[in-house]
Structure 1
Amino acid sequence: MSLFGNGLGEPYDEYGEQIRRQFDPLCSPMYRHVPKNQLVVYNPVKNVSQLQMRHPRTGVIEPDRLTVVLSIDGACRGNGTPTARAAWGVYFGPQSPHNASGLLDPTLPQTSSRAEIEALSQALRIIRTTISADYTMTRFRIRTDSEYLMKALSLWIEGWIENGGRRAQGKPVAHYQVLKDIHERLEDMEYGEDGGMDFKFWHVPREKNREADALANQALDGWAS
């Protein structure tokens, strides 16, 4: 993957095509020169975290007011056993009223991967029902430690749809229907009648995603107590 991209931080794939739903701050001249410890800051007025950018003319580091940075994660205890229980977490910033977590519906597969997908689904619900009312924030950067989820919705989903929910080798895609539904929701929020939003997935190491993981585990703690 190239470290060069457009101003939105979209990297190029091996064929020189920009990946429209992936985000890497190193791929943007606005973000790559901001120190890592200053790249994401919490806006207590908007109740969300936002990116900071280096102004192209002045060189001053300032908030990118169009952005919202959120983190998603899932957790599962007893993964792979009949008694497994999974939960999801969505984190917008310290003490943000938009932070949320919950247990996975017991009718769903109780796995960490399904919980991560549910976290994304719940994040889109929160954005649609609350944050989207503020038209000054339209660029959503979704941090996840799941490389699979990032690639599924930025590289693979359209091919899976063309293949009827199967991989190139003919094997069925796990959780295909819910991933397809999320893709369609993203398309509607980006290009639909009430769209205008921009979504990109930001893959981060697990240690950089602790807040969302903690929220998911809090939901599991409440279930276990």
Structure 2
Amino acid sequence: MTDSSKTVEISTDGACLGNPGPGGWGAVLRYGDVEKELSGAEPDTTNNRMELTAAIKALNALTRPSTVILYTDSSYVRNGITKWVAGWVRNGWKSSSKQPVKNTDLWQELIEAEKGHTVEWRWVKGHAGDKYNEIADSLATSAARSLKS
């Protein structure tokens, strides 16, 4: 069990208006009583790339090695980083079907972003009333929409 007073909690989400299309990412970082919201957008991307980017940007925003609980509604991100990435690295970034892994650049960035931190990856059901997932979703969607206007 981690000491929650010393744990950074992060909720992330990605959004895409069309897939591919304009996309956005959002993250809410919480440490004690402090909350910080981050977001950004890309004009031509995919939902999976935005989900990965949200986690990368959030982890990169940490200013010192931290114990982190990172909540994502993306099974792709959670399973990728906790189950699949070691095999991909071992196999030269090829999938089990010997195809190039999609989003290799972002997976490599996520591996780097995670270094120095102790990260527990937790999946949360999206659009199910989780306060911080809803905020992250709103940040991501707003960022994506900002490109359309």
State TM-score, norm by structure 1.
Answer: 0.58
- 1:211 is displaced (CA, Å) by 1.2
Pick from 68, 85, 89 the counterpart of residue 26 of structure 2. Answer: 89
Structure with the bigger percentage of helix = 2
- Report the residue type matching 1:75 in the other structure: A
Letter in 1 for 2:46: T
Return 140-149 or 173-182, whichever deviates more: 173-182
- Deviating above 6 A after TM superposition, structure 1's stretches of 4 or more consecutive aligned residues are none
Q: 2:12: which partner in 1?
A: 72
Aligned ranges for residues 28-177 of structure 1 at < 5 Å? Answer: 64-80=4-20, 84-92=21-29, 98-104=36-42, 106=43, 110-128=45-63, 132=64, 138-177=66-105
CA shift for structure 1 position 220: 2.4
- In structure 2, distance between residues paired with 1:102 and 1:153: 22
Percent pairwise identity: 28
Equivalent residues of 1:73, 1:115 under 8 A apart: yes
Give CA-to-partner distance per residue, 1:181-216, whole Å, 9 cap, x none: 3213323x1xxxxxxx31111100002321100011
Q: Is the Cα contact below 8 Å between 2:25 and 2:54 reproduced in 1?
A: yes
Q: CA RMSD in A?
A: 2.1
TM, length-normalised to structure 2: 0.85
How far, CA to CA, are the matches of 1:99 and 1:179 in structure 2? Answer: 23
| Cα deviation code 1:158-200 (max 9, x no counterpart) | 110110101122122110132023213323x1xxxxxxx3111
Instruction: Name stretches of at least 5 consecutive residues in structure 2 with no aligned partner.
Output: none
Deviations 1:80-137 (A, max 9, x none): 4xxx1001101125x9562111112x4xx51111011111111012113xxx2xx7xx
Change over 3 Å in CA distance of 1:65–1:97 after alignment to 2: closer
Are the aligned partners of 1:98 and 1:126 in contact in 2 as well (CA < 8 Å)?
no
Higher RCO (CA < 8 A, seq sep 6+): 2
Q: 1:88 & 1:202 partners in 2: Cα distance?
A: 18
SS at match of 2:55: helix
Asked if structure 2 preserves the Cα contact closer than 8 Å seen for 1:157 and 1:180, the reply is: no
Q: Which runs of 5+ in 1 are unaligned?
A: 1-6, 9-62, 190-196
Greater Rg over alpha carbons, structure: 1
